[in-house]
Amino acid sequence: MNERDLRNQIADVKAGRLSRREFVQRMIAVGLTAPMAGTMLAHSGVAFAADAMDYKPTKAGGGGPLKLLFWQAPTLLNPHFANGTKDQEACRLFYEPLAGWDADGNLVPILAAEIPSKENGSLAADGLSVTWKLKQGVKWHDGKPFTADDVIFNWEYSVNPDTAAVSVGSYRGIKSAEKIDDHTVKLTFKQPTPFWADPFVAAYGLVIPKHLFADYIGGKSREAPANLKPVGTGPYTYVDFKPGDSIAAKRNPDYHQANRPYFDTVEVKGGGDAVSAARAVLQTGEYDYAYNLQVEDEILTKLEAGGQGKAQLTVTGHIEYIALNVTDPWTEVDGERASVKTKHPFFTDPAVRKAINLLIDRASVQKFIYGRAGVATANFLNNPERFRSPNNKFEFSIEKANQILEEAGWKKNSSGVREKDGKPIKLVFQTSINAPRQKNQAIIKQAFQKAGIEVELKSVVASVFFSSDPANPDTYPHFYCDMEMYQTTMPQADPQFFMNQFTSWEIASKDNKWQGRNISRWQNKEYDETYKQASSELDPVKRAGLFVKLNDLVVQDNYILPEINRRNCIGLKNGMVANKSGWDNDLWQIANWYRET
């Protein structure tokens, strides 16, 4: 396809003669990926507002109750503290970003009037600034107007170190935020920024109101009443919240999109487990939606036979993985366990880490547990495809693991446990409570035992494990064990934010209230420097190569052990229409959900 043909097709999209999806499909046919085609449209000034999506209801309300089931119950409602996906999802009922990511990896304006581009003059060619035009007429739930002041405040709020916001990584690169007028904000970056669509976009871009949080910036951030009683711009308004249990919300009558939302009320119920959640949608039809169905494929298929709903699978960059602790979780330093001032007693030996990687039977985990909902992988970064490394393969071999440990001087003692210099390899391996993860743990433990590694399995209630409570030692960021397993989500069709979780400045610690995203405490100077380079590289091909290198640096050191590239799996009751995306929260378009009758 020549440049003239390309320009003609983009013109057809702008004129409505060609749909966005048809354009993306044509670009895929000539060798582009869907996100690349979407970016091409965005840079050409083609914006697709949320209210342009397929939506049949002709008026707001009338849809009755919407019942959402989260077996991992939300625990807070401030998006800047939402460490786990469950809390991000709950916040999405009330709060909104400037833009979100659709299923094809395209940006869709939400609180923004349009998507910035070079063509519309809002995206600087040197990558040093972006100007956002805000949608006018938007109100907070208490009637106050949404303005540029709110956007600027969210930057100030998140980058204040005393706020200890989990969103800080998305905003740290901003040098200044300038109010052009009440509905225009110019962000200037500290360096050329190819991924400008990180701050104020998607999960970490939800905007909170300045007038309710200005007095709670910094050290008082956890004291704000609105942390538990949200006042946002979103389609639903707060009624009640019982942390770890339930949320009640009702339709926002002043919502800024016409004829939305369809449902009159929303009930979010937490607790139980993934299987019971799947059953409540797919088999009994008691609920309309079930979140994150971490259920064996065989069970899902049987539940779908109940005829009330279907499991919906979406390609993502999410990864189920095992982290080995770089630090010593059993030694306390200055009142902190798993401190970066310590080193793990035997993971410091590369032979031990290499052997452990060989003892993970990824193929069996995929075949017997996840099935259609996951793909076994040796890469941490798997999607979009242009960022996927060809340099890593996984292997399962108990024989090779034994040989490596033996040659490294780890000999079996009288109990059959390998030890060296008086240190036996005894591990505490933790994860959250759900059936696939417990079965996964059991598979791994069996292989470890055959290699002379003793394992104690620990399972923590999901609402605790994924909590952002700095006082709870059983949360996964505290990492008070030797190894742990969980899924980390990729909330954008670009890996920059996703891969910052291995930078040294993101280490979770007592000082940042364990809100840092680097949970394993792994550090590598070359990784840090490569990440900085990737963050400012404007050439897309070179930038993709840098992310491949980042993936290889982290997985080849064997502290981070990828297992399964997870598909996003939710349950939807028959008749439910939901705009799903593998690059954003499930509820990113909750305003556009409706039920076909």
User: Distance between alpha carbon 64 and the CA centroid of its chain, in Å?
Assistant: 30
Looking at domain 3-228+574-595, which CATH architecture does it have? Alpha-Beta Complex (3.90)
The more confident residue out of 295 and 156 is 156
For 397-437, the three-class secondary structure string (H helix, E strand, C coil) is: CHHHHHHHHHHCCCEECCCCCEEECCEECEEEEEEECCHHH
pLDDT over 80 at 44, yes or no: no
Query: To which H or E segment does residue 289 belong?
Result: strand 289-290
396 vs 360: CA distance, rounded Å: 6
Dig out the tokens for 56 from the structure: 């049949």
Concatenate the DSSP letters of all residues of 317-345 into one string. Answer: --EEEEEE-SS-TT-EETTEES-TTS--T
The pLDDT, as a whole number, for residue 564 is: 97
535, HSE (Cβ side, Cα atoms, 13 Å): 22
Split at pLDDT 50, 70, 90, the class of 24 is low
486 vs 459: CA distance, rounded Å: 11
555 vs 347: CA distance, rounded Å: 15
455-472: pLDDT as tens digits:
999 999 988 998 878 889
**Residue 149 exposed, middle or buried by CB count within 10 Å (0-12, 13-18, 19+):** middle
The pLDDT, as a whole number, for residue 25 is: 58
The pLDDT, as a whole number, for residue 48 is: 44
Dig out the tokens for 12 from the structure: 């057809």
The more confident residue out of 3 and 68 is 68
pTM across the whole model: 0.75
350-362: pLDDT as tens digits:
999 999 999 999 9
Work out the mean pLDDT of the chain and round it to a whole number: 92
Q: Are strands 454-460 and 426-432 parallel, antiparallel or unpaired?
A: parallel
The pLDDT, as a whole number, for residue 50 is: 41
Instruction: Give me the mean pLDDT over the 295-304 stretch.
Output: 92
The pLDDT, as a whole number, for residue 268 is: 97
Count of Cβ atoms closer than 10 Å to residue 289 Cβ: 25
125-180: pLDDT as tens digits:
999 999 999 999 999 999 999 999 999 999 999 999 999 999 998 999 999 999 99
Identify the top-confidence range among 369-373, 393-397, 432-436, 580-584.
Answer: 393-397
Looking at domain 319-493+559-566, which CATH architecture does it have? Roll (3.10)
Split at pLDDT 50, 70, 90, the class of 338 is very high
Instruction: Give me the mean pLDDT over the 68-75 stretch.
Output: 92
Domain boundaries, the chain: 3-228+574-595, 319-493+559-566
Dig out the tokens for 261 from the structure: 């939302």
